[in-house]
Amino acid sequence: MLKRKLLTIVFLFHLSTFFISQVSQSNRLLSFAGTAYGQNRPKSSSLNNDVVSNMQNLSAQQLFDTANYYFDIHNTDTALIFYNFFINKPIKKTDVEHQKRIAEALNKSAIIHYHLCDFRNAYEYLIRALLLCEECDYQSYEPKIYTNIGNIYYRFNQYDVAKIYYSKALNLCQDSATIVIMLNNLGTVEVEDGNLDSASFYLEKSLQISKEYDNIHLHTLLNTMAWIYEKRELYDSAFYYYKRSLEEARKNEKIEKEAEILSNISKLFYDVNKTDSALFYVDLSNNIAEKNHFLSILAENYLTLSKIEETKGRNKSALEYYKKYALLNDSIFKAENFGDISQLQRLYEVSKTNKQIEQLVVEQQIKEQKIRYQNIIQFIILGILLLVSGVLIYIYLQKRNLSIAYKKLFEKNIQIIELQDHSLNRDSEKYKKSPLTDEMQEELLERILTLMEDNSIVCDSEFSLDKLAELVQSNHTYVSQVINTALKKNFRSFLNSYRIQEAQQLFSELDFTKYTIESVAFKVGFRSPSAFRSTFKEITGVSPNYYLNALRNGKTV
């Protein structure tokens, strides 16, 4: 029976592996991964459903071990699928050891997303892992999670925050390999801040521990050392340590680190004006980065290539590389990604604070709880009363100000009417001795009204009383007399009535959204939008904004 079970497990394992590899080669991995995340499964694929069913029949330990195997051989797509099956597999809350394995799976899933430059999902997995470690008291694993959180903040140039998490990891860490990395990371942050002496101190301690444990992570430490020498402008020493770091990375099959080191060497050669050597190393780095989709390294390489091409005078090529860099860099480090990360961090802190509050509340006495809740209720009621009072006061002040404004507007209109009446009376007295007969006035008025029907003339910003007199073959005085006596208006009011009428016509057209108030103001002959607004309200009784909104809402104005 035992042999039969083992054969069944092996068969299911190989069947799952075969299916996953086929899906990956035919660009269907995303569909399959969706099933692992609980998304809709393709109903048309019976094989897909069978394999998913078979994988669900595997034990939690088998899923976890298989995921770790693919993670170790850098088959990250397959590893991620198995990790998610394992994470979503139902368990008992009392199974603490299984919860610890889930925390490890979440952390490794975050590492995969991190290398894919999917920092938002990486951070979410890390926060979930950290909460789970705190829940099941898995403190010994927390340094690894803090390290990866620090790495994400480092990627977004948040060096102070990254340093906090690296320090947390170092304080809790008991694993030599993690201590080596933490010291190196702290040194890297110090280099970014320009504290080279402090960076050297961390690096020396890290190298000392690394030597005691068979030169663990030596390729990373040598790379940081080279960077420090480069910052000190000791380029020969920098190149020497970059070369040693590259040899170590290749020996340990650290492909991403190899691409990063080659990229660093190319930048070094560019800085010392050896563009041909820089081009050679950046091409080597790009070959690896493109093959393995190391996006952040690709972005840095495009920037280096842009600088090299610019140095060689090939500005068009330099611009193309810079566009590639900007596009890729923006897609990786776009602001909304960091905003999501910050939000997740705040939610985590709130969650952690809430747990602490819950523990304090449990320890409090019943009487203290009642007093606390009563105080909260009193503050809430007081706050509501203050808020309501503030709103009422605001409404009262707004109504009072509106009333005052309408009163001033009414008084101003009365003054304008009185001034107009006075002007018209004065003009009537002035025109009593005019040689124009009634017949001549009627004839001139007809010519004026006919001419004013031409919108191209009326809406000309240069149109004036003199221009009107010229067009109707009369003079300034006679035209002014006819308008004042026959129409009871001055020329400006007479002209504005036509212009506002044209503005109303433009607003009421079917496609009125193509006009703005400012464009209509200039179109009908006004020299400024403010003059148009005041004239429009004077003639129609409403503002242009109100008029336009009423038309858009289908209201009658």
Token duo for residue 484:
């004042």
DSSP string over 394-414: HHHHHHHHHHHHHHHHHHHHH
Residue pointed to by tokens 């340990």: 252
The span from the CA of 62 to the CA of 338, in Å, is: 36
Token duo for residue 270:
């560019």
Q: Which of 191, 168, 189 is nearest to 178 (CA)?
A: 168
CB-CB contact of 79 with 71 (8 Å): yes
Q: Quickly count: other Cβ atoms within 10 Å of residue 203's Cβ.
A: 23
**Residue 183 backbone phi and psi in degrees, to 5:** -60, -40
CB-CB contact of 13 with 78 (8 Å): no
The span from the CA of 63 to the CA of 57, in Å, is: 10
| pLDDT at residue 357, as a whole number | 56
Local structure of 73: helix, strand or coil: coil
Token duo for residue 384:
């509501």
Query: Could you read off the pLDDT tens digit of each residue along the chain, which spans 557 residues?
Result: 434 443 344 444 444 444 444 344 333 333 333 333 333 333 333 444 555 566 667 788 888 898 899 988 878 888 889 889 888 887 776 788 888 899 999 999 998 888 888 888 888 899 899 888 888 888 888 888 998 898 888 888 888 888 898 898 888 888 888 888 888 888 888 888 888 898 899 889 988 888 888 888 888 889 999 989 988 999 999 999 999 999 989 998 888 889 999 999 999 999 999 999 999 999 999 999 888 888 888 988 999 999 999 998 899 998 999 998 888 877 776 655 556 666 666 666 555 555 555 566 566 678 787 788 888 888 888 889 888 888 888 888 877 776 675 566 556 656 555 555 555 555 555 565 667 777 888 888 888 888 888 888 888 888 888 888 888 888 888 888 888 888 888 888 888 998 888 888 888 875 666 668 888 889 888 989 998 999 999 888 888 888 888 777 765 55
| pLDDT at residue 266, as a whole number | 92
What is the pTM (predicted TM-score) of this model?
0.51
Contacts 24+ apart (CB under 8 A), 22-31: 24/77, 24/78, 29/77, 29/81
The span from the CA of 464 to the CA of 224, in Å, is: 78
Kindly state the DSSP code that residue 139 receives in the 8-state scheme.
Answer: G
| pLDDT at residue 416, as a whole number | 54
The span from the CA of 58 to the CA of 54, in Å, is: 7
Q: Quickly count: other Cβ atoms within 10 Å of residue 298's Cβ.
A: 24
Local structure of 461: helix, strand or coil: coil
The span from the CA of 521 to the CA of 530, in Å, is: 9
Token duo for residue 502:
């044209």
The span from the CA of 429 to the CA of 25, in Å, is: 98
Residue pointed to by tokens 């005019």: 434
Residues 6+ apart with CB under 8 A from 17: 78
| pLDDT at residue 448, as a whole number | 87
| pLDDT at residue 10, as a whole number | 41
